[in-house]
Structures are given as structure tokens and as C-alpha cells.
Structure 1
Amino acid sequence: MNQHFISIKVDREERPDIDTLYMKAVQIMSGRGGWPLNAVCLPDGRPVWGGTYFRKDEWIETLQQLQHLYENNPAKMVEYAEKLHQGIESLNLIDPKPAVDFNINILEPLVQKWARSFDDEFGGLARAPKFMMPSNYKFLLRYGFQTQNKEILDFVNLTLTKMAYGGLFDTVDGGFSRYSVDLKWHVPHFEKMLYDNGQLVSLYADAYKLTQNPLYKEVIEKTLNFVSKELLTQEGGFYSALDADSLTINQHLEEGAFYVWKKEELQSLLKTDFDLFSDVFNINEFGYWEEQNYVLIQKESLEDIAQKNNISVKSLAQKKTSWEKLLYQEREKRSKPRLDDKCLTSWNAMMLKGFVDAYKALGDEKYLNIALQNATFISNFLWKEEGNLHRNFKNGKSTINAFLEDYAHSIQAFIALYQATFNEKWLTDAKQLADYCLEHFFDEHQGFFAFSSDLDEALISKNYETEDNVIPASNS
């Protein structure tokens, strides 16, 4: 690699603009994308080859072939780079549409088509891996309420309930992992990301306001307790994530090692309560993962389990709380997952809004106080005197000019904070950021906001983010 290439490692979370650009290139070349993402470019940044995961020998052989082609037939490589560049540019072309009469009726056929993909047993979409996609369910919750569509509301409540029951949600200490590898939200990719938890708290807060379901309140409280304890910085910012991997007793890094349980270990801890615990958290075939490990998952409501075991719901709920405290104390003796200690502006803003929405749903002042603390952190450490935001804060320094995503979520969070406090400072701050976006991001010709500021060094192609993913598109 060092003999013929300049090797550059990019943190795609710090530089989503670069990640998006070369992901498009790899998708054009191979028809699929993913990570780790690898690309080989000409000196001007135009890609000529790329892919995801490669074995060592395959990687070395490919690099040797590319170097041979570059030395012996550079014109062919430049020609391919130009064609690929044209393909990337074509993805940015947005056909202008005639004026559309936007009203709620146009949503009905879209929702009907969408509903054909719903999983009526475990919620979410009927495929694995299963991502939470919070903005989807926020939309469906509001749509179901506004149209009084009971089927849609029931589906959203099924989804939120099964997500809260599953191993995807850490019932012992709160917080959601990134996604589930199976249909029943059971075995997650054990990484806990700030952006997921911020958006999911907002979603569960909306659902709690509508249903007053105590399970949703429990999810909000546990998640915010986890975030406050594990991810909140001294400056009032939020760290980005906890890794999926942690050290085992044998000092080997393994995914999920911190979170899983063996049957014998649970029997020793819970003693006479083990059978009832096993009924609640499925220490059986339903809750089994691999290598004698179980991931806690609830299959039925506490009401149903209590009735089956001839115990009051109140007594069972108290037992569940005491079991979780016991398991938490035991788990804290284990080696913890590693911390991703950078603070990203957009992710902080999503979490800020989560705390505001929790305050609006539950009325707990401590949530509002943490939200105010975080908003002050963004204002003091990530907002520059020149009017621009920075993307990243780490080790006391803010770096990287922010992207549209950072402005969009900060604006949304500040507006939410104004709604909770009626302090006009936050509304004025939101307006200043919006004005900055209109000046430095809006493309009048396209009618969209570019992802990068016009003050940034241009990449080989502009990006207009218009498709929602786990995080909504910044133009949305």
C-alpha cells in the first residue's frame, strides 16, 4: 500500500460527505455497498475502483493489478474514472416536478403499499436485519392518530412494545443497540449509538403522550439514565457510542460479551427466583443465542406472565426491578465496552431533542436541565463567532466545518427547547442557523440544500441528501 499509494483512513462519522461520495461510486461499480468501504482514486480524487471487505491476499493482488494498469495504460484508467464520475454526477440530478397539491389524501395509498411489508407478529418490517428507523414510526404514529386509523396505531404500538421487549433494548441498564440480526428484535449488533437513542426517546415520548403505556415510560427513563451516566461529558456534551465488543474473562474481545448471560450464572444469582425469571426473560430456546449464551428477551406482557404464575402484576413488576438491579451490579464487574469519545453536533442535537421531548411527556425537570446544559455546550463549543457550526468536539477542541445535517438537527432541537421554555434565545438561535444555511448551503438552481457548505473545499461531486435513512435526510 505504501509503495504505490497514499493511504488515507477516514472516519465516516466525522466526514459523512466523503463516505457518501465513495459509497455512490462503489454502488455503481458493484451494485451494492457497505462497510468497511475501500476506494482507490486518481490524484484528483476521482475513484477508479472500490469495494467493501477483502481478504489480505485478494487485497494485495488487486492493488498490484491497479498499479500495473496505472503505469502501463493510464489513459484507460482516466477514461474509466471519467465515466464513473459522470455516473456519480447523474445520481445528483433531481428532475424538477410540476407543482403538487400536497394534502393528507396522497399519503393513504403510500401507507397502504407500505403496510404490505409490515411484520404483524413482531412489528417493524418483515425482514432481517431489523433497523429501528425511528422517523418512520414517528410518521406512522402521527398519521394513525390524525386519520384515526386503528390498524396503523396498533402496528406502531406492537413495534414499540416488541422493540422494548427484545434484546435490542438493554432492560438491565437502558439504551438501544443499533439493530437486530433477526426478526424478533432479539440478538442485536451490540453497539449503542447516540443518534439511535436520541431519536427513539423522542418516539417513545410521543407514544407515551398518546397511550400512557407504562412500558414506554420505563423505556424513556432507563434510556435517559443510561445516556446521563455513560455518555454525558463534563462540558455538557454527549459522547457518540459504546462499542459492541468488550473483553471476556479470557481477555478476548468479543461482540456482546458484556451483555450476555449463561444459564448457570443466572441460576446462581437468582436462586429460587430463577424459574420465574426464566419465564419473564426466556432462558429457553426462544432466548438462546449461541455458545451457551442467552440474550434477555421478553415474549409476553407482565400481566399475562403474572396470571400464568398466579402472582399479582405489582409483585412481578417489583421482582423484575430487583432482578435487573442484581444483574446490573453483577454486570458492572465485567470489562465494559469501549467508548467512542468524540462529540458530533447533529447526534448531540438529536439527543438534546430527546431530553426535551421526554420532559414534555413526563414533566421531569432534570431532563429539561440536561437539555439546557447540552444546548449551552453546542452554543459555546461548537458554534463559532463567524456564524458556522463545527462538526466534532474532542479533547477540548472543535474541528471540521459542519454539514447540513448538523444545522438541521440543531435548528430542530433549539425550536423544541423554545417550545418547552418560551425562552426566545433558542428561537433566535434557530433562526440564525437557518439564515446561515440559506446563505451557505441552499442551491437555487436545484431547489435543494447541498450537504456541504460553499465555504468548504469542493469534492469531485456535490451531494444533495434527499433520502431518509436511520437518520432523516438533512433536506427533510
Structure 2
Amino acid sequence: MLKRSTILLVLPFFFFGCNQKSDKVTHKHTNALINETSPYLLQHAHNPVNWEAWSPEVLERAQKEDKPLLISIGYAACHWCHVMEKECFEDEEVAQLMNENFISIKIDREERPDVDQIYMDAIQMMSGNGGWPLNIVALPDGRPFWGATYVPKDNWVKSLQQLTELYKNDKARVTQYAADLANGIHAINLVENAENSDLYSLDQLDAAVTNWSQYFDSFLGGYKRAPKFMMPNNWDFLLHYATANNKPELMEQVNTTLRRMAYGGVYDHVGGGFSRYAVDSTWHVPHFEKMLYDNGQLASLYAKAYAVTKNEMYKEVVDETIGFVQEELWDENGGFYSSLDADSLNEEGELEEGAYYVWTKEELTQLLGGDYSIFEAYYNINSYGLWEEGNYVLIKDKSDAEIAEKFNISVSELKNKMENALGVLKTERAKRDKPRLDDKILTSWNGLMLKGLVDAYRYLGNDAYLEMALKNAKFIETEMMKDDHSLFRNHKEGKSSINGFLEDYASVIEAYLDLYEVTFDEKWLNHSKKLLDYTKIHFMDKESGMFFFTSDEDHSLIRRSIETNDNVISASNSIMAKNLLKFHKLYPEEGYGDIAKQMVLNVQKDFDTSAQGFSNWLHVVLYENQNFYEIALVGDNYKKLGKQVAGNYLPNSILVGSKAEGNLELLENRHVDGQTLAYVCIEGTCKLPVTTSAEVLQQIQSFR
């Protein structure tokens, strides 16, 4: 029924053609990847290809030997990466061709997003498309001249043969093409310092959102397209915008999207958590890999939506998603693993996408007995829920009340029956071979999950989530942060090796600042500020006012990238802009606000036509155009009062607190013996102190 097609992307004048699979060989080889920690690289450590990990030394050797680089980029949960490995990289004939003519480099895109960004831009310039596995052939200095995603064996062999001949016999042509392409790769990433501009206005924002809304799927949620990605930052901004500007029609779109995603097969009804995306337009059939970054962001989004709506389904999604992460991705040291693979072993012992998750009607009938008929209606074990080859992916399309009425039972009885049924299925599913685990720990993704836990604690009030958050925050502090407040990117089995990128700093700065707001422990605020100041020194581009993706302490690539577009994860620069604006409220003399404003000015020209691609930036537009509240709590019961205030959805605010006078300017001269007082301020100008969270909310309303 719904199968994703094989995609072949190549440079037009290097297109060659057909499809043939090779026989799998036994693992009798070992290459340099055996010394790596990335599960994806280790998967290729016994290929007959002489793979190397990316390093300056390997590029130097390629230049000495005058061999082109063959750079293959993927990740552990990537289905087509596994397919291409089996067909090509495990084949000795293919390996001999690669070993004789190329320096072959394997890259885990999750460990080295800096390299992946550059070559993804390259292939999109060459072919108009992109994806993984991403295969690039480049000059020995790293400038690319050919690219493809998944390539079957015959096409791969013919391509490499002709590329080898071309490099040997017409190097001037190849070099010129690579030089032109490198210039284009630089040009598309330039960000100019926008001077003498006015900041984006609310009227402009209204028009941009109106233009954006024409793409909404008002019935099924998300956008009118397939595949459907969850895009948490889109709905997070629209939740903020709808509540701040009284836009009920947009709030309805947010609710429709969150409901339909939670109803869909993209959500794991048996074990909790979300898959990466749905291949169809109904959220039904997922690409079954489950990523930490999706689930961290979605836990945060659903927690905020619960704070606004008090919709119990949103709370259940948060609880079940965190339950999945804790059960499957939680390391006892406090870090979170990266992902579960899309593929798992089927009954025949072969890797198959989704084998762990799908059900046949016969299985369900046998397992559920008398409750099967209700389960069948509830999760559409019918033509709507059918995937392919007799396998069903569970999907809801009716409310509990509708199903309960159909079967003449109460909603509570229905929920009990479904909970029991899902428990049966979870026990049965545990007998299957589980998807492979990518057990590397990435700093930025842990930052996103940490924020998800903090938001879940903040809005749901579950103390267990704060305990998890504190353990994870401590792990990042002790294992990923150096004494100078520089960060590592990755960690596995006690080893951290790669320097952090801007996204690592941005996400941890944001998460630590959020953690301070729910604990008032100044350690997290201080760490957050020191990380922020480190990025100013080592990542900032003085010419554009933006931040580079890589530190000035890292080896240079063919481009030092500046990331601005919000995708399934928000751009590192947009997270930094939000961080800077909030730190400006706490430290107004340090110039953070000016940096944040300039960053928005530099990218706002794209907001009119591409608001969805800059949705995280748009929070800053609201921060700057509407009141932003500093809420200071001082007194013996400051933590209790802080928890009451924090449980309200107040995106345009920052919360500080101390028992007596704290180290922040906002906390100076606020203490009164025997009282716990709340001060609602804008840019340090405060209303008279109050003593309850209700009065805080009243003052915020009166400021408007």
C-alpha cells in the first residue's frame, strides 16, 4: 500500500543506470572505524571498504596521494543507509574499486552536522534534492563535484568507474566544476548585516501568519502534503501567537494538529513516543525510527498545550512520551541515547522496517479476545488502518466519547479496556526483536530533552520529571562541559571526543535557563550565562552579527556555516536569539538585547514568504513588539509561589527568585521580613508587590 520509493539523485551529466543487488558477504574485514564510538560508524567497521573517519589527517593524506574523497554520510536509524551498505559497501568487488581509487570517509551526520550541512547544500545545488545516505565525491581538499543519495550496486559501480576516469583524464574540468560549486556553497550561506532597518512589526507578522495559514490542513492537522513531519517549532510559535493575540482560529489549528498527531500511527499507542514522520497525509504510516530530538520537543509542546487547554489527552501524551524515553533511551548515568532504528528483525530473521510495531488482524483477535471488537473500532483495524501485506498500524479517528456511545459503555470503561488491551500488546511486543539502539549521547539533543522534562514538570507538576531533569542536567555538567565552559558534542561509554557545535550550546543554554526558572538554583543560571558568553567569544561573526555553527577553535572546512532556517529542530541561531533576549532582561547592561535584535533584522526579510521556516525566530518578534515580563519572587515561600506562577503559560516572561536578596539586579532591595512578595516588571520597572499567583496574573493582564 504505502511504500516509500527508492530515490536516486545524481549530477545530470554523470547519470548512469539500473538496479542490481549483490550477495551479502561475511564480515571478515576490519577497517579504521573499529576505533570509533558512533554506532553508525561501528556498523561499517567490518565492511571490506577501507573506511576512515573524518579528520584533517585523512584529508592531508588524500592530497598527498592525489585521490578524490568519497564521503558517505548517514546515521544509525537510517533505513536506506542500511540497504546501501548491504548492496554496495559489504560487496568486495565494490570495495576494491573504492579502495583503489578513493579515500573513503564514513560520517555519522548526527556527530558531524557541520560536515553534513555543507554537503547537503552541495547535493541540493547539484540535483535539487537531498537525503540520506548522502554520498559525495570531492577533490582531496574537500570541494565536492558529484553527489547522490541511495544508489544500487550497478549504478554505483558505473558511477565510480566513470568518475575515476574523469578525475584522471580531465582533472581541469572537475576542478573548475568543484570551484564553481564551492563558490555557490559559500554564496547561499551568506548573511548580511542589515543596517538601518526597522524590526518586524505586529502588522507584518499578522500578514506573514495569514500567508502561512493557507498551507494548513484544517481537517487532519499539519500541512496539506505528504510526508508529514511534526515540526514542533511551528506549532509552538503558533500556540504562543494564538494565545497572545486572541486568535481562536489558529488555536483550533494547533489543537487539530496535536490531536491528529496523537491519534495517528506516527504516535506509538502501545509504547508511547513519536516516530520521525508519517509517509502519508493522514499521520498513519510512520517512518518508524524514533528520535530523541522529536520526543524532547514534542513533550515540551504538548505540556505547553496542556497548560493552555487542560486537555487531558495532551497530558497523557506527555506522560507516555517521557515514559518511552525513560524506558528506551535513558542511560543510568543521566544521559539520553539518540534513537531507535526503523528496522528490526521479522519472524524470518530479516531486517524489515516497522516489523516491531505492526500487527495482523489474526494476532490481535487472538491476543485481545472479547475486547477485540471494541479495539478494532477504536484503532481502525479495517481498510483505514491497513498498511500493507496484512499489517495494521494503529490509528484513531474518533473521540473516546464517540466510541463509547457506539458500544453503549462509559468513557471510563472504554479507557480501561483500551489500557488493558495496550498492556497486553506491549507484553507481546516485548517478545519480538527490538529495533537497534543508537546509544551515543549528543549534547544538543539532550538539551532538547532536558527542556522537554522541565516543561513537563512546570506545566504538569510531576516531581519525577524534575528529578530526571536534574540528573540529566548534572550529566551534561560533569560529562559534556569542560572547565572553560566549552562543550563536547558526543559521549559514549565514558568517552567524549568531538567539540560541540553552536546547536549544542544553544540548546543547553536554553534548557539550563529554563531549569533555573523552576528551581531558582543559581548554578544553572550561571552555567547558562557562562556558556552564552563562551559562544560570544568563539562562535560570533563580527561582520554579520550572527553565530557560526563551528567554533574558532575547530579545524576549518570549506565553509564556516551560519544556520538560520528552522527545520525539524530550530536553527541554532534562532535559539541563540531567544536566549540573548531573555538574558538581556536579567543583565540589561551587557548588550545581549542588541545582538538578538540585530540577528532578527538580518533574517526578517524571509519572514513574509517563509514564516514556517523561521517560526522559532518569530517568538523574538513577539517578545520585542509586546510586553515581556520579568517576575521576581522574594521571601521564605518563593519556591512555592514560583511553582504556582510557572504553571501558567506565560511565554513572554522570565521568572527569578530567592529567599532573600539574590545576585540579580531584579532581586535587589526586594526583601521584606516575614513576607513572600512577587514583583511584575518590564525592563526593570515594576508594579507594586503582590503575594499570590492570581495577583501576578492580574497585574500581567493590566499591563496590556
User: Which TM-score band (shorter chain)?
Assistant: over 0.9
Q: Does 1:4 align with 2:101?
A: yes
Q: Aligned partners of 2:369, 2:157: CA distance in 1, in Å?
A: 55
Q: Which amino acid aligns with 2:175?
A: V
What secondary structure sits across from 1:299 in the alignment? coil
Q: Which amino acid aligns with 2:397?
A: K
Measured in 1, the distance between the counterparts of 2:172 and 2:429 equals 60
The answer for the alignment partner of 1:107 in structure 2 is 205
Matched with 1:17 is: 114
Specify which of 411, 417, 422 is matched with residue 319 of structure 1.
417
Q: Name 1:475's counterpart in structure 2.
A: 573
Query: Matched residues in 2 for 1:167 and 1:188: separation?
Result: 6
2:494 paired residue number: 396
The 5 A counterparts of 1:206-221 are: 206-221=304-319
Letter in 2 for 1:80: Y
Aligned to 1:436: 534
The question of 1:194 aligning with 2:306 is answered no
5+ unaligned residues in a row in structure 1: which ranges? none
> Is 1:79 the counterpart of 2:164 in the alignment?
no
Whether 1:335 aligns to 2:408 is: no
SS at match of 1:48: strand
How far is 1:308 from its partner? 1.9
Q: After the TM superposition, which residues 269-348 of structure 1 pair with which residues of structure 2 at under 5 Å, given as runs?
A: 269-348=367-446
Shift of 1:45: 0.9
- Cα displacement (A) at 1:307: 1.4
Instruction: Give distance in 2, aligned partners of 1:276 and 1:26.
Output: 49
CA apart distance, 1:241: 0.5
Q: Residue type of the partner of 2:131? A: G
Structure index of larger Rg: 2
Q: Work out the CA distance in 1 between the residues paired with 2:232 and 2:415.
A: 27
Alpha-carbon shift at residue 398 of structure 1 (Å): 0.7
The separation in 2 between residues aligned to 1:102 and 1:421, in whole angstroms, is: 34
| RMSD over equivalenced CA pairs, Å | 0.9
1:204 aligned to 2:302?
Answer: yes
Counterpart check, 1:49 vs 2:146: yes
TM-score, normalization by structure 1:
0.99
Whole-angstrom distance in 1 between the partners of 2:174 and 2:380: 57
| Match of residue 88 from structure 2 | none
Where 1:448 maps in the other structure, the secondary structure is: coil
Identity %: 56
Q: Deviations over 1:330-360 (max 9, x none)?
A: 1111111110000000000100111110001
1:120-177: CA deviation from partner (whole Å, max 9, x where unpaired): 1110001000000000000001111111111000010000001001111111110000
What is the distance in 2 between the residues matched to 1:67 and 1:309?
Answer: 68
Describe the SS at the equivalent of 1:62: helix
Give the distance between the partners of 1:20 and 1:194, measured in 2 at CA.
20
Query: Structure 1 CA distance, aligned partners of 2:438 and 2:469?
Result: 21
SS at structure 2 position matched to 1:184: coil
Deviation at 1:96, TM superposition (A): 3.5
Look up the match of 2:137: 40
Distance, in Å, in 2 between the alignment partners of 1:435 and 1:401 is: 17
For 1:255 and 1:367, how far apart are their aligned partners in 2?
A: 32
TM superposition shift of 1:386? 3.2
Match of 1:133 in 2: 231
User: Alignment partner of 2:146: what SS?
Assistant: strand
Structure 1 residue identity aligned to 2:229: F
Q: What is the distance in 1 between the residues matched to 2:421 and 2:372?
A: 10
* Cα distance in 2 between the residues matched to 1:132 and 1:327: 26
Aligned to 1:350: 448
Distance in 2, matches of 1:329 and 1:351, equals 27
- C-alpha separation in 2, matches of 1:269 and 1:115: 44
Moved more, 48-57 or 419-428: 48-57
Q: 1:58 aligns with which of 148, 151, 155?
A: 155
* Residue 282 of structure 2 is aligned to residue 147 of structure 1: no
What whole-Å deviation, never above 9, does each CA across 1:255-303 have from its counterpart, x for those lacking one?
Answer: 1111111101111111111111111011111111111001111110001
Residue type at the aligned position of 1:248: N
Amino acid at match of 1:163: M
CA distance in 1, matches of 2:381, 2:162: 52
Q: Letter of the aligned partner of 2:560 in structure 1?
A: K
Which runs of structure 2 are paired with 1:184-263 in the superposition (5 Å)?
184-263=282-361
| Whole-angstrom CA distance in 1 between matches of 2:557 and 2:242 | 42
2:551 corresponds, among 439, 453, 474, to: 453
Between the aligned partners of 1:443 and 1:322, the Cα distance in structure 2 is: 56
Deviates more, 1:254-263 or 1:26-35: 26-35
| Residue identity in the other structure for 1:118 | F
Aligned 8 A contact 2:193 2:543 in 1: no
Deviations 1:381-420 (A, max 9, x none): 0111233100000111011000000000000000010001
SS of the residue corresponding to residue 335 of structure 2 reads coil
Aligned structure 1 segments of 4 or more residues deviating by more than 6 angstroms? none
**SS, match of residue 10 in structure 1:** strand
Separation in 2, partners of 1:427, 1:105 = 35
Matches of 2:188 and 2:333, distance apart in 1: 41
Whole-Å separation in 1 of the counterparts to 2:171 and 2:435:
47
Using the alignment, how far apart are the partners of 1:102 and 1:22 within structure 2?
A: 32
- Specify the alignment match of 2:278 in structure 1: 180
Tell me which amino acid in the other structure corresponds to 1:430.
S
Contact 2:376 2:382 in 1 (8 A): yes
**Counterpart code for 1:199:** Q
Supply the AA of the counterpart residue of 1:400.
I
Task: Name the counterpart of 1:30.
Answer: 127
Shift of 1:451: 0.2
Residue by residue over 1:1-37, the C-alpha shift from the partner in whole angstroms, topping out at 9 and shown as x without a partner, is 1111000000000000100111111111112211111
Where does the alignment leave 5 or more consecutive residues of structure 2 unmatched?
A: 1-97, 575-704
Q: Distance in 2 between matches of 1:71 and 1:172?
A: 56
Task: Write the distance in 2 (CA, Å) between the matches of 1:63 and 1:278.
Answer: 51
Q: How many residues align?
A: 476
For residues 56 and 327 of structure 1, the distance between their equivalents in structure 2, rounded to whole angstroms, comes to: 39
1:103-122 residue CA offsets vs partner (Å, 9 max, x unmatched): 33221111111111111111
CA distance in 1, matches of 2:330, 2:118: 32
Displacement of 1:183 after TM fit?
A: 0.9
SS for the counterpart of 1:38 is strand
* C-alpha distance in structure 1 between counterparts of 2:230 and 2:191, whole Å: 28
